[in-house]
Amino acid sequence: MDGKIVVRDIKKKFVSGKTSLPVVGGVSLVVEDGEFVAIVGPSGCGKSTLMKIISGFERPDEGSIHIDGKAARGPSPKGIVISQHGSVFPWLTVQQNLMFGLNGDQHGDKAALADHHAAMVGLKGFENSYPRELSGGMLKRVEIARALVVKPEILFMDEPFSALDALMNLRMRTELLRILEEERHTVILITHDVEEAIYLADRIMVLSPRPTVIQATFSVPHPHPRRLSSPALQQLKEDILAELGL
């Protein structure tokens, strides 16, 4: 079976008493090794549910997920989730947070590795700070460094920058691209921000309203850094917004 991540005909409904809410209506997709796929869709269409299923934190009613050809029946050790809800421990310093996931002896000097990743996201000099001493943007960067330090093959990102102000959001996009150039990861990004998707992704999937299916797929074969004001990318934005009924 080809593809780093192969998602086959995923369906999911939530049942509560006599009511049943169909959320994912049959989604199939293949993500290649090293590819960056963004998923956009209308509010409440089931984006987060789909991400939880693909990352192994929610069971689908039907369908399958294969990672590197193997059926995935829970969270894959090859992947890590970065979501809008922070997962940084408030009682640990930046360095301790970054060292937290480094179990086993194969990581060498863990403190040095943590400091390298802190520097990578622009937090050099803040290794010994506690989360309460950092701004929202810095916290987000700790979170991203914390995900990257364990060198995951796959990054599952669910609206990772949505809690940030506009400027920090733009900065984090650029930062993420720089990091991905240094260390190639396979990425699935959920976002409601079409420009963010166009700026970052190799391919963009547009989801339909609930129960969601993939309504359209767009390739973004443009080199980085991308200028969102270029006619081609403006046209792409219009095409995607039209798919979203906007």
Ligand X SMILES: Nc1ncnc2c1ncn2[C@@H]1O[C@H](COP(=O)(O)OP(=O)(O)OP(=O)(O)O)[C@@H](O)[C@H]1O
Footprint of ligand X on this chain (CB under 6 A)? 14, 21, 23, 41, 43-49, 192
Give rounded-to-5 percent helix, strand, coil for the chain: 30, 25, 40
Least separation, in Å, of the C-beta of 7 and ligand X?
Answer: 15
- Residue 11 or residue 192: which is nearer to ligand X going by CB? 192
Handedness of CA 155, 220, 38, 140 (dihedral sign): positive
Give the distance from CA 1 to its chain's centroid.
23
H or E segment and range at residue 140: helix 136-148
Smallest separation, CB 16 to ligand X (Å): 6
Least spacing, CB of residue 14 vs ligand X, in Å: 4
Q: Min. distance of Cβ 55 from ligand X in angstroms?
A: 13
Q: What six digits make up the tokens of 13? A: 């409904």
Please check whether residue 198 is in contact with residue 226, taking contact to mean a CB–CB distance below 8 angstroms: yes
Closest separation in Å from C-beta 191 to ligand X = 10
ω into 160 cis (within 30 of 0): no
Is the Cβ of residue 43 or residue 229 nearer to ligand X in the bound state? Answer: 43
Nearer to ligand X among residue 155 and residue 244 (C-beta) = 244
**DSSP of 185-240, one letter per residue?**
-EEEEE-S-HHHHHHH-SEEEEEPSSSB-EEEEEE--PPSSP-TTSHHHHHHHHHH
Q: Which residue, 14 or 103, is less far from ligand X as judged by CB? A: 14
Q: Which amino acid is at 86?
A: G
Q: Which is nearer to ligand X, 1 or 21 (CB)?
A: 21
Nearer to ligand X, 41 or 56 (CB): 41
| Smallest separation, CB 188 to ligand X (Å) | 13
Name which of 81 and 145 has its Cβ closer to ligand X. Answer: 81
Taking the C-alpha atoms of residue 109 and residue 143, their distance in angstroms, rounded to an integer, is 20
DSSP β-ladder status, 70-71 and 62-67: antiparallel
| Rounded Cα–Cα distance for residues 168 and 127 (Å) | 20
User: What's the closest the beta carbon of residue 10 comes to ligand X, in angstroms?
Assistant: 12
Half-sphere exposure of 108 (CA within 13 A, CB side): 6
